[in-house]
């Protein structure tokens, strides 16, 4: 009987883990584009929207930094490459076409998450063309304002599809903000398909575990 109840208690805790940890695949399709002119749009694999302030999908926000550098042609969400596939695409301040200095990913409402991988669609210092191999684009993870992962140098990538999948590994588990930036001349930078796991809140896990223990105790007292 004790073994059965122990198994039951463990199952309750596992249920807590599975219910609290949820995966999100950010495809840049079906989310909301918030533009700098205070209008909103929904991505649909058909249109590319520029003049972007930030984008929200699946409980996460992708923000272009700063607003003053993201205006007009500098920032894009949608079918930018004309391939029927929505992406994020930006033009860095170090290049010739925009003023973006960073792209930041956070969870709406706050909280930690694990970022597992994403597709890199462009990382080139030649607009609309091949990468030179000199591009220095980075990704870095933060928790409570402190750097905890990276900076990790991203591979060079020719403009547009096909994309290269970039895995970030365990170093980017339990972060609350991920930042992309460059440290030399780069014109075009694009991404797609972010796979993110939300990190369970410790308090929530504790409550579920306590509930499992109490259930075990009550059942034992009836034996």
Q: Do 73 and 53 contact (CB within 8 A), yes or no?
A: no
Q: Which two tokens stand for residue 57?
A: 């999908």
Query: Which residues have CB under 8 Å from 12's CB, separation 6+?
Result: 208, 209, 211, 212, 215
- The residues near 221 (Cβ < 8 Å, ≥ 6 apart) are none
Same domain assignment for residues 186 and 209: no
Q: Do residue 164 and residue 192 come from a single domain?
A: yes
Q: Are residues 221 and 156 in the same domain?
A: no
- Is there a single domain that holds both residue 48 and residue 12? no
Closest CA to 128 of 75, 74, 188: 188
Are residues 99 and 65 both part of a single domain? yes
Please indicate, yes or no, whether residues 41 and 60 belong to a single structural domain of this protein: yes
Residues 154 and 219 in one domain: no
Domain count, the chain: 2
Q: Are 185 and 95 in contact (CB under 8 A)?
A: yes
Identify the domain containing residue 143 by its residue range. Answer: 22-199
Other residues' Cβ atoms within 10 Å of the Cβ of residue 112: 18
Within a 13 Å sphere around the CA of 55, how many CA atoms are in the beta-carbon half?
32
- Identify whether residues 115 and 40 lie together within a single domain: yes
Closest CA to 210 of 9, 62, 68: 9
pTM here is 0.83
The tens digit of pLDDT for each residue in 126-168 reads 999 999 999 999 999 999 999 999 999 999 999 999 999 999 9
Residue reference for tokens 């929505």: 86
CB 192 within 8 A of CB 160: no
Same domain, yes or no, for 150 and 135? Answer: yes
Range from 17-21, 79-83, 151-155 carrying the lowest mean pLDDT: 17-21
Q: Is the pLDDT of residue 210 over 80?
A: no
Tell me, yes or no, whether 75 and 182 share the same domain.
yes
Assess whether 55 and 91 both reside in one domain.
yes
Structure token pair of residue 130: 């091949």
Q: Does residue 189 share a domain with residue 85?
A: yes
Structure tokens at 25: 């695949």
């Amino acid at each position: 009987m004790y073994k059965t109840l122990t198994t039951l208690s463990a199952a309750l805790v596992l249920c807590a883990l599975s219910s609290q940890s949820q995966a999100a695949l950010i495809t840049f399709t079906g989310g909301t584009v918030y533009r700098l002119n205070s209008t909103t749009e929904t991505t649909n694999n058909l249109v590319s929207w520029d003049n972007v302030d930030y984008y929200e999908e699946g409980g996460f926000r992708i923000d272009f930094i700063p607003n003053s550098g993201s205006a007009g042609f500098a920032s894009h969400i949608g079918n930018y490459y004309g391939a029927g596939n929505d992406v994020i695409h930006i033009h860095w301040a170090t290049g010739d076409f925009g003023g973006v200095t960073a792209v930041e990913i956070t969870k709406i409402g706050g909280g930690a998450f694990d970022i597992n991988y994403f597709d890199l669609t462009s990382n080139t210092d030649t607009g609309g063309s091949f990468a030179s191999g000199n591009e220095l684009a980075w990704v870095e993870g933060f928790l409570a304002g402190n750097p905890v992962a990276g900076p990790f140098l991203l591979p060079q990538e020719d403009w547009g599809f096909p994309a290269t999948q970039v895995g970030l590994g365990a170093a980017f588990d339990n972060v609350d903000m991920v930042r992309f930036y460059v440290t030399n001349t780069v014109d075009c930078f694009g991404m797609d398909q972010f796979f993110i796991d939300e990190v369970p809140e410790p308090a929530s896990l504790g409550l579920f575990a306590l509930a499992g223990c109490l259930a075990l105790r009550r059942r034992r007292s009836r034996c």
